[in-house]
Amino acid sequence: MRRREFLASSVAFVSLAGGVPELFARAAEESARADRNDHALVVLELAGGNDGLNTVIPYENPLYYRNRRTLGIPKKNVVRLNDQIGLHPRMAALGELFKEGRVAIVQGVGYPQPDRSHFRSMEIWHSASTEPAPPSTGWLGRFLDASAPDGEAFPRGLSLTGSIPQALQAAKVVVPVEAQLTSFSETSGNPASALRRKLSAASGAGTETGPAGFLSRQADTLYRTADKLGQSTQSYKSSVEYPGDELAQKLRRASQILKAGLGVRVLFVSQDGYDTHAGQADAHGGLLETLANALSAFQRDLVEQKLADRVTVLVFSEFGRRVDENASGGTDHGAASCMFLVGAKVKGGLIGEYPSLEKLGEGDLIYHTDFRSVYASVLERWLGCPSKPTLGKPFPRLDLFQG
């Protein structure tokens, strides 16, 4: 393969960043002074806009049942967290984790002037910016840019989704999609592995300088990453039986990767289906049951792998749903909702007050906690990274972790 072919093929999966903005340079400088730790974060996205009102339920509030005439969960069925608030009945497995102190539920989360567009609201959550022209990088990508040592051999972030989410878009580091990397493994038998051998032969073993040398080194990193990911299952044994659904299997894969000790700090997982405009009751209940059971299995597995003290799961959705149900037995796009943090080192409990059902904003719950306060707390208290350079400005921190 000629050099021109090598460059053309490599550009398909490696992108060059134009220059590192001053914000990222400051983040890198401050992060270098931060105490490095081995904590990992699994970010789980509930795509479509989760109905927080039927997830974390104010079962003693008559306004809830007045607005949810058919979708309201009967009081007797709620998984009670205290004498006012409970979980959807199909989230019993998460309720058990809550009783064990492994779940923090942040109530009333949102941002100013909420946008009910999936695309725009997701952009805001992923970029951690409400500016009209948000940065092209995501909040997790900026963290990875700031914390990755130069010349690191293995990426610190991985996506277990079908494509790279905006939250993991970085300016400096390569953040691979695990499923795509698998095809480049030496043992995959996939046609991409043959392309790998051609690219490796044409790259001159990374000795070239300039753009060709950069691409060669990046390609070599991705190849070695693919091989190590392929080997990660060999060191993993577990007696925990995960459910057979896609989400549970993604979390099982996350456990394998973390167990392999590859230095991964951030993993991104997504569960689709939360845009419940019609026939919500059964669909939403099934999604929440899948979520709760997958998180429960993952927590049990982390304990068995002796990883429980190192891993926290952050669960978010781009917005909640409207307070009043619609005529199709569903709910439409709303605003404020809830976030979950799950892990052995989480300070479990209900964080913040439940949003008012009496004082609404255009029919929606009004937020009282900016989601970036949750991000700031995770960055500083869990990942050991200053939050201001990553988020662009300071946000109040929440008491979410032990110690």
The CA distance from 314 to 104, in Å, is: 10
**CA neighbor of 18 nearest in space, from 164, 170, 163:** 170
Domain presence at residue 178: yes
C-beta of residue 321 within 8 angstroms of C-beta of residue 368:
no
Largest CA-CA distance found in the chain, in angstroms, rounded = 72
C-beta of residue 123 within 8 angstroms of C-beta of residue 1:
no
The total number of structural domains that make up the chain = 1
Domain presence at residue 396: no
The CA distance from 192 to 304, in Å, is: 35
Which of 62-71, 151-160, 172-181, 255-264 comes out lowest in average pLDDT?
151-160
- To the nearest 10°, report the CA torsion of 193, 194, 198, 204: 30
Residue 201's pLDDT is 52
Residue 230's pLDDT is 77
Domain presence at residue 397: no
The CA distance from 199 to 3, in Å, is: 9
Residue 82 belongs to domain with CATH number? 3.40.720
| 201-222 pLDDT per residue, tens | 555 544 555 565 555 556 666 6
| 347-373 pLDDT per residue, tens | 999 999 999 999 999 999 999 999 999
Domain presence at residue 39: yes
C-beta of residue 139 within 8 angstroms of C-beta of residue 45:
no
Residue 112's pLDDT is 97
Domain presence at residue 312: yes
| 5-18 pLDDT per residue, tens | 443 344 343 333 34
- What value does the mean pLDDT of the chain take? 86
Q: What ranges in 148-279 are assigned the alpha helix state H? A: 178-182, 191-202, 210-231, 246-259
Backbone dihedral region for residue 392 (phi beyond 0: left; psi -120 to 50: alpha; all else: beta): left
Q: Model confidence at 180, in pLDDT bands (50, 70, 90)?
A: confident
Residue 1's pLDDT is 42
Domain presence at residue 18: no
The CA distance from 218 to 10, in Å, is: 9
Residue 260's pLDDT is 92
Residue-level length of the chain? 403
Instruction: Give the residue numbers spanning the domain of 134.
Output: 3-13+24-391
Q: What is the DSSP letter of 306?
A: T
Domain presence at residue 403: no
Residue 31's pLDDT is 45
Domain presence at residue 399: no
Question: For the chain, what is the radius of gyration of the CA atoms?
Answer: 22
383 residue type, one letter: L
| 11-66 pLDDT per residue, tens | 343 333 344 445 444 444 444 444 468 999 999 999 999 999 999 999 999 999 99
Residue 221's pLDDT is 64
Residue 288 tokens read as 């929440």
